[in-house]
Amino acid sequence: MNVFDVLGDPVRRRILELLQGKELSSGAIVEVIGKEFGITQAAVSQQLRVLREAEFALVTPQGARRIYRIGPAAFREVDAWLEGFRNEWVGRLDDLAEEIKRGKEEAKVLEKRSEVA
Percent of the chain at pLDDT exceeding 70: 98
Could you list the residue range(s) of the whole structural domain that residue 86 is in? 82-117
What gap in Å lies between CA 112 and CA 106, rounded to an integer? 10
What pLDDT is recorded for position 117?
65
Is 76 part of any domain?
no
Same domain, 8 and 65: yes
Confidence check: pLDDT of 22 > 90: yes
**Cα separations (Å) of 115 from 37, 107, 109, 110?**
58, 12, 10, 9
What gap in Å lies between CA 73 and CA 77, rounded to an integer? 7
User: Which of left, alpha, beta for 40 (phi over 0: left; psi -120 to 50: alpha)?
Assistant: beta
What gap in Å lies between CA 101 and CA 105, rounded to an integer? 6
Better pLDDT: 116 or 71:
71
Same domain, 87 and 62: no
| pLDDT tens-digit series, residues 82-98 | 888 877 777 777 778 88
| pLDDT tens-digit series, residues 57-89 | 999 999 999 999 999 888 998 998 888 887 777
What gap in Å lies between CA 14 and CA 88, rounded to an integer? 29
β-pair type (24-25, 57-62) = unpaired
Total domain count, the chain? 2
CATH of the domain at 26: 1.10.10.10
Same domain, 91 and 57: no
Confidence check: pLDDT of 40 > 70: yes
Same domain, 19 and 57: yes
Backbone angles phi, psi at 58, to 5 degrees: -115, 150
Percent of the chain at pLDDT exceeding 90: 62
Same domain, 48 and 96: no
Confidence check: pLDDT of 101 > 80: yes
What gap in Å lies between CA 11 and CA 38, rounded to an integer? 11
Give the DSSP per-residue string, 23-47: -EEHHHHHHHHHHHH---HHHHHHH
What pLDDT is recorded for position 67?
97
Is 77 part of any domain?
no
